[in-house]
Homo-oligomer: A and B are copies of this chain.
């Protein structure tokens, strides 16, 4: 519910959450317009639904956004006539409703803007829809641009940071529930269900992604979603899950041991934890993401497990679970104040199992603030 321009009161579940400052739509649009100038186009067509939500505030399931150097429009269908106008009031987007023929309405309106070249999200728009739009908007020319909104979205405004923190707090409570529940004899899927229900009761809209509970040898699968396998004494259990709150995701991983851990289990946990600490220690405004990845990777390599760490060290989190920046060996991203990222090194040994530890950090001018903190020692349940 909008209280007054740019100020929000949201009530969810049993709690009351007051957010003083609304989304900084003006700054988001400014960022996108910088991108428009940089790419040498006269405007951008945006069809990715999370990009639309980010720019306009509209939470419906489909629509088109056109942003030019001096115009900002949202096109959507009759299902959303009321909703679109309410939700876009703070962002100031002009709303145009279509009944059946979206491209005709788009063409009629955008055709009058005298644009020469419109950019579009080359990674999002399907080949067929691109062809249809191009034909409907003739003689306007089109240029594919790879995720033009991603760079803007990577830096979160205070409104977004608040929501990600709330999402993280729900997730933290979910892991506490896992720690109270997890024991030998349960199935992986049973543990996942229990944690997911708990997070829903704590206010989550849903999960950020399919919960991973990978026990014993299955821990060697970096994406071993919860199965009907029963958890056994002595096994490590990798639990990777996330909550979604008001559209914003959280994403953490914990690795537990069922019963007393052996020396190798403790050792590998220690290597991964130290790798994570070294990565986190480097995160600050201005640092290259590739160096943060390198800090984790070189530690794991030095310990002799280099070939068992196949994925990147982390990624941005927001309206999407995976967004910019990317923290990997090939990343060209540079950290900026306000980015929110995961840090999640892991070691996966086929036939033995795996350890992954993942927390989320907010990049600051000087260092970073951890939204969650995994334990230094392997937790034995």
**A91-106 Cβ-contact flags toward B at 8 Å (1 or 0):** 0000000000000000
The residue that A123 contacts in the complex, of B12, B79, B128, B193, with Cβ under 8 A, is B128
How far apart are the CA atoms of A200 and B193 in the complex, in Å? 8
How far apart are the CA atoms of A79 and B221 in the complex, in Å? 7
User: Given A193-B200, A228-B12, is A125 in contact with B126 using a C-beta cutoff of 8 Å?
Assistant: yes
The reply to whether B126 and A310 form a contact with Cβ atoms under 8 Å apart is no
User: Given A79-B222, A223-B79, is A126 in contact with B128 using a C-beta cutoff of 8 Å?
Assistant: no
**Which one of A125, A128, A144 has the highest number of Cβ atoms from chain B below 10 Å of its Cβ?**
A128
How far apart are the CA atoms of A295 and B79 in the complex, in Å? 24
**A301-325 Cβ-contact flags toward B at 8 Å (1 or 0):** 0000000001000000000000000
How far apart are the CA atoms of A120 and B126 in the complex, in Å? 11
Shortest C-beta distance, A16 to chain B (Å), equals 11
Answer whether residue A124 sits at the interface, using C-beta atoms and an 8 A cutoff.
Answer: yes
The residue that A128 contacts in the complex, of B78, B146, B196, with Cβ under 8 A, is B146
How far apart are the CA atoms of A193 and B200 in the complex, in Å? 8
Answer whether residue A61 sits at the interface, using C-beta atoms and an 8 A cutoff.
Answer: yes
> Interface size class for chain A?
20 to 34
Answer whether residue A113 sits at the interface, using C-beta atoms and an 8 A cutoff.
Answer: no
CB nearest neighbor in B for A10: B228
Which B residues touch A128, using CB under 8 A?
122-123, 144, 146
CB nearest neighbor in B for A83: B221
**A70-81 Cβ-contact flags toward B at 8 Å (1 or 0):** 000000001100
A:10-63 near B, CB below 8 Å:
11-12, 61
Main secondary structure of the interface of A (DSSP, over half): mixed
The reply to whether A61 and B228 form a contact with Cβ atoms under 8 Å apart is no
**A344-371 Cβ-contact flags toward B at 8 Å (1 or 0):** 0000000000000000000000000000
A:141-155 near B, CB below 8 Å:
144, 146
**Which one of A125, A127, A129, A221 has the highest number of Cβ atoms from chain B below 10 Å of its Cβ?**
A127
Answer whether residue A130 sits at the interface, using C-beta atoms and an 8 A cutoff.
Answer: yes
Shortest C-beta distance, A354 to chain B (Å), equals 12
How far apart are the CA atoms of A71 and B200 in the complex, in Å? 46
Answer whether residue A197 sits at the interface, using C-beta atoms and an 8 A cutoff.
Answer: yes
Shortest C-beta distance, A199 to chain B (Å), equals 11
How far apart are the CA atoms of A236 and B107 in the complex, in Å? 40
CB nearest neighbor in B for A228: B11
CB nearest neighbor in B for A220: B82
Which B residues touch A310, using CB under 8 A?
78
Shortest C-beta distance, A247 to chain B (Å), equals 12
Which B residues touch A78, using CB under 8 A?
310
Which B residues touch A200, using CB under 8 A?
193, 196-197
Shortest C-beta distance, A146 to chain B (Å), equals 6
How far apart are the CA atoms of A67 and B124 in the complex, in Å? 25
Can you list 17 A-B contacts with CB-CB less than 8 angstroms, sorted by A residue number? A11-B228, A12-B228, A61-B223, A78-B310, A79-B221, A79-B222, A79-B223, A120-B127, A122-B126, A124-B126, A125-B126, A126-B127, A127-B130, A127-B144, A193-B201, A196-B200, A197-B197
Q: What 5 A-B pairs come out closest when comparing CB atoms?
A: A122-B128, A127-B130, A123-B128, A122-B127, A123-B126
Known pairs A11-B228, A123-B126, A123-B127. 13 more at Cβ < 8 A?
A61-B223, A79-B221, A79-B223, A122-B131, A123-B129, A124-B126, A126-B126, A127-B130, A127-B144, A128-B144, A128-B146, A193-B201, A197-B200
